[in-house]
Chains A and B, each alone.
Chain A
Amino acid sequence: MQSLRVDNVRKNFGTTKVLRGISLDISKTEFVALLGPSGCGKTTLLRIIAGLERQDAGSVDIAGRCVDDLGPAERDIALVFQSYALYPHLTVAQNIAVPLVMRRLSAVQRLPGLSRLSGYARTQRRDIARDVAQIAESMEIGHLLDRKPGQLSGGQKQRVAVARALVRKPSILLMDEPLSNLDAKLRVQMRQEIVGMHRRHGATTVYVTHDQTEAMTMADRIAVILNGELQQIGTPAEIYKQPASIDVAEFVGSPKINILPCTLNTHGLTLLGTAHAGTAGLAGASAAFIGIRPEHVTVDVEGEGPTVRCKIASLEYLGSEALIQARVGDSGEEICLRTDIDVFERAKQSDTLKVRFSARNMLLFGQDRRRIDWSAAQGTA
């Protein structure tokens, strides 16, 4: 069932095109990450979904209802801000209660002391207190309810912000880089907690991040946004293994994928000025670039795929593995290898290395930088 539909949304700030027509369909209980570098428009898209910003063209549907003319409060969404945006003058309990108080009590009923006079207001207040306690318990902040936000640590503030967002069970939960203000260790922990929370509450979640690890580990699907355009949407594995374009391939994965210009046609593969005759499996395909991830550049003697001789430029020891930067021939092209420690130790002894690009894992890109579906290319051969 569809929960959120973004249809061809465009937004300009002055002459800058921030969003160039983005369309997205997100189903109920799905966790989708909007991934992109800073300034790519992902936060703007989130704010348009939330109703804090108005799109110049296109439309947004939430739970099958067009919300273009509705304010943020009427859209049945909740938003967790990067800065948490807790009310500094209210206690944790009051902070979490705000969305409920604003919805369940009228302006008159909200007057302080009125719950002493009105039975209705009193019952409502009691229900709100119960709901707040419940969500606080599930976020493990029950013991902090009487504190002010100023007395909380970053991780605690984060939980309060999530609790405030979840307390009224919105149809969509929006999160804007919620972990970017936490230290590295806490970030890993909160990552798991947010995933756990999503599993428990099942709220449809749109999660903005520039951190590919967050997107890869948390999301059901990732929407990669570059330069205000949706480049690709798919599961983390699809994004990693079958990137739609060189840009996506380069943005996702660390260290960056190796992209090398080549000529691949019916005559065979020419890579870095060297012809590799009879490269099995590539027959019939044509491409202008090949992409190969650092872990698929091997020093194996056996195997399928072109080999090249290269000069070691630098070595990085990472403990469980190592990275080798190497320069290929005279072309000046640098490639990166991710290897095990044995290879690293051997490489330290010499300055050159013969590497093999695993043919099975090679990605092919056309002149337009789009990926060429290789198996399809094979099929036509």
Chain B
Amino acid sequence: MAARRRQLAHLRSFTILTLGAVIMLAPYVVMLSTSLKSQEQLFAATFQLIPSPLHWKENFSRALLEVPLGRFMLNGVVVCAGILVVQVLTAVPCAYVLAKIDFRGRETLFAIVLAALLIPHQVTAIPVYVVLASGNLLDTFLALIAPFSTSAFAIFLFRQFFRGIPDDLVNAARVDGMSEWTIVWRVIMPLAYPAITAFSIFSIVAHWNDLFWPMVVVTTPEMSTPPLGVLFFRDQESGGSQGALMAGTVIITAPLILAFLFAQKKFIDGLTMTGLKG
């Protein structure tokens, strides 16, 4: 009886989870499926998940050849890496000061950082755009990276993490002759590795997938990031080739998905840790 009930409970949770997974995955599956179809198959009366014959060759070769997808991806890597490195370099010292150094007004400063978390970057887009435009910096990597050179979220996340590092360790470093800078780079940074990993995931995913900011400051395909590049593609073809468009999106989402598959455990650990600490 009890065993039966347990089975039933299992079945119920399994059904709910499956349903959730299907809903979450459906768009992605449709994207994959579309990337394998020709224009005719796409508008066929019946929906085929796996079309026959497969048209992946023309779709993917068009995606790769007609627009410089490689270039977009390279831009994406440069921008994401640039943003991440600068964010970590600025947020770690800020978080260290907020977590470990006692001074008047520290709590106020921290409150301001928290308040900054509430402001979406769309709000500041226009002033930032004006500054970049007047500096003749539009359509450069700098325009893509500079606005994200620090992150309130990173400061918050790192501060919470650093508070867990014992004060004695910092004091020991001071007695041993380290300056505050040296403490940040030689003691805090190596210990902050889990927090930095967790933050990297957020930062890379957000900026790799970001469409808004590249759309504001980039006008040429040469400086496009992957999502914007795919958009160029759609403009070129005026929606005439969904198959190739979807092939493009499959290619640009592939790095994140592959990275997730390889680093699944780290990824989940990172998110769980932030959940606990945040």
Interface residues of A (CB under 8 A from B): 50, 52, 71-73, 77-79, 81-83, 85-89, 98-99, 102-103, 107, 164
**Can you list 7 A-B contacts with CB-CB less than 8 angstroms, sorted by A residue number?**
A52-B174, A52-B175, A72-B171, A73-B175, A73-B177, A87-B172, A107-B182
- Return B167 CB to nearest CB of chain A, in Å: 9
Q: CB-CB contacts of B168-205 with A at 8 A, as 1s and 0s? A: 11011111111000100001001100000000000000
Residue pair A87, B187 in contact (C-beta under 8 Å): yes
Interface residues of B (CB under 8 A from A): 166, 168-169, 171-178, 182, 187, 190-191
Given A83-B168, A85-B168, A88-B191, also A77-B178 (CB < 8 A): no
- Nearest A-chain residue to B172, judged by Cβ: A85
Residue pair B169, A85 in contact (C-beta under 8 Å): yes
Residue pair A102, B176 in contact (C-beta under 8 Å): yes
- Nearest A-chain residue to B193, judged by Cβ: A89
Residue pair A85, B171 in contact (C-beta under 8 Å): yes
Q: How far is the CA of A79 from the CA of B177 in the complex (A)?
A: 12
Given A85-B166, A87-B172, 13 more A-B residue pairs with CB atoms under 8 Å apart are A71-B174, A73-B175, A73-B176, A78-B175, A79-B172, A83-B168, A85-B169, A85-B171, A87-B169, A98-B176, A102-B176, A102-B182, A103-B177
- Sorted from nearest, which 4 A-B pairs have the closest CB atoms? A102-B177, A85-B172, A73-B177, A85-B168
- Return A304 CB to nearest CB of chain B, in Å: 53
Q: How far is the CA of A82 from the CA of B173 in the complex (A)?
A: 15
Residue pair A89, B175 in contact (C-beta under 8 Å): no
Task: Give every chain A residue within 8 A of B182 (Cβ-Cβ).
Answer: 102, 107
Q: How far is the CA of A98 from the CA of B176 in the complex (A)?
A: 7
Q: How far is the CA of A29 from the CA of B174 in the complex (A)?
A: 24
Residue pair B174, A89 in contact (C-beta under 8 Å): no
Task: Give every chain B residue within 8 A of A73 (Cβ-Cβ).
Answer: 174-178
Residue pair A99, B191 in contact (C-beta under 8 Å): no
- Nearest B-chain residue to A82, judged by Cβ: B168
Task: Give every chain A residue within 8 A of B166 (Cβ-Cβ).
Answer: 83, 85
Residue pair B169, A72 in contact (C-beta under 8 Å): no
- Return B110 CB to nearest CB of chain A, in Å: 21
- Return B75 CB to nearest CB of chain A, in Å: 32
Task: Give every chain A residue within 8 A of B169 (Cβ-Cβ).
Answer: 85, 87
Task: Give every chain A residue within 8 A of B172 (Cβ-Cβ).
Answer: 79, 81, 85-87
- Nearest B-chain residue to A98, judged by Cβ: B176
Which among B171, B178, B190, B191 is the interface contact of A52 at CB below 8 angstroms?
B171
Task: Give every chain B residue within 8 A of A83 (Cβ-Cβ).
Answer: 166, 168
- Return B15 CB to nearest CB of chain A, in Å: 44
Residue pair B177, A99 in contact (C-beta under 8 Å): yes
Residue pair B191, A72 in contact (C-beta under 8 Å): no
Q: How far is the CA of A52 from the CA of B101 in the complex (A)?
A: 12
Q: How far is the CA of A267 from the CA of B113 in the complex (A)?
A: 76
Residue pair A79, B187 in contact (C-beta under 8 Å): no
Q: How far is the CA of A98 from the CA of B178 in the complex (A)?
A: 9
Task: Give every chain A residue within 8 A of B173 (Cβ-Cβ).
Answer: 87, 98
